[in-house]
Structure 1
């Protein structure tokens, strides 16, 4: 037992040293950046080493000694690859692509590097993403063997090494640069703000605001997750941070374990769409599109609000229909929030810095600095230095689990682009006769959801953007709108079985069945399915247009979402008849499809108003009469 204890102590020390060194390197990139290839190679394989360090094999019995050897080898080989890239970086940065020879050391780095990344992916997100990456890698070899449209010349091993790991593409491409230049700073801010008390403040504010409302237990989860999503784009962190408080309250308020876990899972999933700190996919999108991140965040604001508005309405209607979800007064033991409001200075300063036009990393660092200082201003919110060390470890762990899958997705991007897979899909849609925009949108939704059943959000988005966005743009859809459309449905990967990480995390807290929780959460998500059609039809919803256009577009989207929720629940001041339910469905679809302020849109608004007047004024009088 003593040997095991000594090993664990040594392993924790190694993990801490690697974490501190990794975080220090990434912080230094803001002040004294290394060359893109040097920074990316260090980042990717240090993150790989950290995955081995943070996620050791959990073999039992005698096998644990073999597991330790494998874990140590994983860390050591990852660090060796870091050193080899550092030694070769001068040559790699100056070589001519497809002209200079690929050396044996390049082949070694390619094969060994991919093997390490693939094992890190398996440990961090499981077999689903790894299987997809391996299929694409096999396609790179077997391209000549495929029939018809899917055939292409394929890549030899040296060509693969050159495309995937010898330049700022592939594993060192846009996904790595997004992690270094955007994601890290916001992960750091979210970790500091949460550990120093800001995350708990958001949850307490949500409880104060919603606990006494109808269905307050579930509304508390929605508001808390939305607020937490503003400072953490991680859906898993959102689920675990807010769920430990909200899920027990929901179960005590009458919800089943699956309903409580599903509500928290879908609410936390929406945090990936919530500005100013969205999920990793949004940072990758900004890098891929070459536009400022603040543009992405601004465009996502109204759709994110519609996401939570839709969930709020369906939770409210369910509570009024079923009579469950009210919070008992004895459950409302909320510490005073006024003495802690100064903690909000950090996110406010970060948002203000973004709006002022400064870069996203600079805004995140400003927010981080204030998040460190603000708690010290009052004795009740002060923290100790050990919490700062925990922040460093937490940041390194999150970045490692994010970065290994991102690097693997770089392989998919190389194969998809070099084989012209996206253009082939556009051609396939044309051959199928799908020049109809809405039919193509439905096919894209189906594809995103299918990918989401097995992939994390960022992986599903990147593949979706490569495959579906060109086809949508070919039909006249704005580039930003097409990317956000794909992202919106790929976000649902967090609650779509069989790989529903948010649903599994919430189910673990609620002690409910994980697959059933995922299905219930996916059922809840149906209420937000129409929202992306709104900004495809009306780009003003993405903050593109005059103030009047934006306001009317947003109002129409929210009204359509309300009608869709009423249709799904079948209740509004009482059970709806079949014609009434159909009327709300028709009104919702009409509002989403018809362009804003056209005659059709005005007729749709009028129909909706007549339905509401009927339900709230005319029908009650007829019933009482």
Structure 2
């Protein structure tokens, strides 16, 4: 469910369409059966899931492009078949492994199992390279090399140094590495919600949410851009991928924004910033949120509840920038916008599955069962009205897409498990924490900047979920040292991990939007970064205020934190853009920036005073001229 996490781009299957489709649908049925019956233990289920994923990866992502010379392409296809057969063998062997065997417990792995484990790691790294990119595989290889030869490094970075037997036993024949928490979450919870998103698309529910967004915001200034933000908020949390969301909603919203008067790079940046925000929007916040629940040991319902206010604030921030941009360009709203009541009347039944899964998640039901119930509910909803019936072939397409969309997620999570395993096996996390504390000078803001930079760098080559997993095992302990609660630390890292989609020089969601808009990728990334600055500001407020409502926090403290965050967003955005209702003079812009900085100081009196000054500035500016239409 980040950037590569759930790729909804059209999948080109070549000459193996029917075979791949059959294998993918079979995987979906296997996952549904296991989710309902839960008859397989994790040491049996996870190897089967992973081998199934690897087979599909080697079939969908060939060794050589079709444009390659025919002999080379055919050789590559033969090689892919060999890889697929090896994947089946490795999965079968691992699923049959007896962990209670005295020989294994006393003497370690036999030669066949040692070779099988080594082969599986090689196949996994190659599959990850094909689906996610060489950076993820390279990071995993780097960590494995450190695990084997860390003993030759200087003392401050040294580890024991483990032989191949110890590494394979730890990472393959235990729940600490490849088959650890990240893959377990991907194979269980994430799969069913990815399937839910796929079924939303094929049943027409996705289009309904887009229509609702245009009905709500289309008539106002910069209508298509504001509709893009609202539609991305609705669809992004379900699709689980910023890129997928950008491509899906952007195909409609970007051309309309350009037609209204937005520059191509602005249209691409708006869509990318809005789509990336879908990953932090409840009820389904992408794969990383479910991993967070596993890492923190907290129920997903608690993560969902504390994430509502920050998510709304992020979209408020994006909408404000979109509005200011529309004002500067002198744009108007859309004509002939459908009424909200009409759109709701036509597709209200599509809201029921979303309401149902939200309620069930808040009631702390099993996320796997909630996801499966949501899948059934969306199909029932589609067939509840004659005009929204879908063909059986469309449902099969949804089942197929659900399996194909999980491939990069499972591959990335399994590979991230290697990184998590090495951190636990070698203890490098402790050294990283000490280094981060030293470099930050003992200041939280210093550590925050370093973690944000690390998130951007990791995000240049990793999917969001993988970036969050890698960064959380290294950075969360450091944030805990500064006194931040576990959930707050994880949410800060989770939010910062989203920034790679919109941060130059490699901003994958912005680049996807640029392709649709026909704009410069780098200019689009700059616009997206400006529009998505909430990804940096709001985590900072999580650290320095009570923005995440805790049990020991009063309603007054929470309210002040919310108002301070709103004030910071308004003051900073208007100060940077040089506009409220009217164009602002330089001294007013400087004052607004100062007010924004004051909001970061955790002093209720100071914050309320700064808010009062901001209100006076806004009132004075409003009195000067005719207010713009929202």
Q: Normalization by structure 2: what TM-score?
A: 0.91
Q: Aligned in 2, Cα 1:540/1:265: closer, same or farther, shift over 3 Å? A: closer
How far the C-alpha of 1:540 sits from its partner, in A, is: 4.8
Classify the secondary structure of the residue corresponding to 1:172.
coil
393-402 or 144-153, which deviates more: 144-153
1:607 corresponds to which of 597, 600, 613:
613
2:131 corresponds to which of 120, 124, 129:
124
Residue 571 (structure 2) pairs with residue 563 (structure 1)? yes
How far the C-alpha of 1:10 sits from its partner, in A, is: 6.6
How far the C-alpha of 1:99 sits from its partner, in A, is: 4.4
Q: Taking CA–CA contacts closer than 8 Å with sequence separation of 6 or more, which of the two structures ends up with the larger relative contact order?
A: 2
1:197 corresponds to which of 179, 185, 204:
204
Separation of aligned partners in 1, 2:55 and 2:293: 27
Partner residue in 1 for 2:494:
487
Separation of aligned partners in 1, 2:606 and 2:252: 46
1:377-434 deviation line (CA, Å, top 9, x unaligned): 2121111111110011000001112100111111111112222222112222344462
2:178 corresponds to which of 171, 178, 181:
171
C-alpha contact (below 8 Å) 2:515/2:521 kept by paired residues: yes
1:86 corresponds to which of 86, 95, 102:
95
Q: Aligned in 2, Cα 1:255/1:74: closer, same or farther, shift over 3 Å? A: farther
Classify the secondary structure of the residue corresponding to 1:122.
helix
2:289 corresponds to which of 282, 285, 300:
282
Residue 503 (structure 2) pairs with residue 503 (structure 1)? no
Partner residue in 1 for 2:348:
341
How far the C-alpha of 1:245 sits from its partner, in A, is: 0.4
2:74 corresponds to which of 65, 76, 85:
65
Partner residue in 2 for 1:27:
32
Partner residue in 1 for 2:375:
368
Partner residue in 2 for 1:448:
455
C-alpha contact (below 8 Å) 1:481/1:542 kept by paired residues: no
1:531-562 deviation line (CA, Å, top 9, x unaligned): 11222223453465455543443232222212
C-alpha contact (below 8 Å) 2:224/2:334 kept by paired residues: no
1:55 corresponds to which of 50, 61, 74:
61
2:109 corresponds to which of 102, 109, 120:
102
538-547 or 199-208, which deviates more: 538-547
How far the C-alpha of 1:572 sits from its partner, in A, is: 1.0
Q: Aligned in 2, Cα 1:153/1:21: closer, same or farther, shift over 3 Å? A: same
Residue 50 (structure 2) pairs with residue 44 (structure 1)? yes
C-alpha contact (below 8 Å) 1:37/1:93 kept by paired residues: no
Partner residue in 2 for 1:5:
none
C-alpha contact (below 8 Å) 1:275/1:297 kept by paired residues: yes
How far the C-alpha of 1:206 sits from its partner, in A, is: 0.6
Partner residue in 1 for 2:602:
594
Residue 163 (structure 2) pairs with residue 156 (structure 1)? yes
Which structure 1 segments of 5+ residues have no match?
A: 1-7
C-alpha contact (below 8 Å) 1:215/1:316 kept by paired residues: yes
Q: Normalization by structure 1: what TM-score?
A: 0.92
255-264 or 519-528, which deviates more: 519-528
- Superposition map of 1:353-392 within 5 A: 353-392=360-399
336-345 or 486-495, which deviates more: 336-345
Partner residue in 1 for 2:464:
457
- Superposition map of 1:138-537 within 5 A: 138-324=145-331, 326-329=332-335, 336-432=343-439, 434-537=441-544
Separation of aligned partners in 2, 1:497 and 1:97: 50
Partner residue in 2 for 1:4:
none
Separation of aligned partners in 2, 1:406 and 1:96: 31
Separation of aligned partners in 1, 2:253 and 2:625: 36
C-alpha contact (below 8 Å) 1:527/1:568 kept by paired residues: no
1:85-143 deviation line (CA, Å, top 9, x unaligned): 1232xx13556987441221222122211111111111111122222222222222221
Residue 585 (structure 2) pairs with residue 577 (structure 1)? yes
Separation of aligned partners in 2, 1:170 and 1:55: 25
C-alpha contact (below 8 Å) 1:541/1:554 kept by paired residues: no
Classify the secondary structure of the residue corresponding to 1:396.
helix
1:270-321 deviation line (CA, Å, top 9, x unaligned): 1110100111111111111111111111121111111111010011011101
Classify the secondary structure of the residue corresponding to 2:580.
coil
C-alpha contact (below 8 Å) 1:128/1:499 kept by paired residues: no
Q: How large is the Cα RMSD of the aligned pairs?
A: 2.3
Separation of aligned partners in 1, 2:292 and 2:25: 28
Separation of aligned partners in 2, 1:98 and 1:521: 54
C-alpha contact (below 8 Å) 2:274/2:315 kept by paired residues: yes
Q: Aligned in 2, Cα 1:175/1:533: closer, same or farther, shift over 3 Å? A: same
C-alpha contact (below 8 Å) 1:497/1:515 kept by paired residues: yes
Separation of aligned partners in 2, 1:476 and 1:9: 54
2:17 corresponds to which of 8, 12, 16:
12
Separation of aligned partners in 2, 1:288 and 1:206: 35
Q: Aligned in 2, Cα 1:419/1:9: closer, same or farther, shift over 3 Å? A: closer
Q: Aligned in 2, Cα 1:221/1:430: closer, same or farther, shift over 3 Å? A: closer
1:185-213 deviation line (CA, Å, top 9, x unaligned): 21121111221111000000111111111
Separation of aligned partners in 2, 1:566 and 1:527: 14
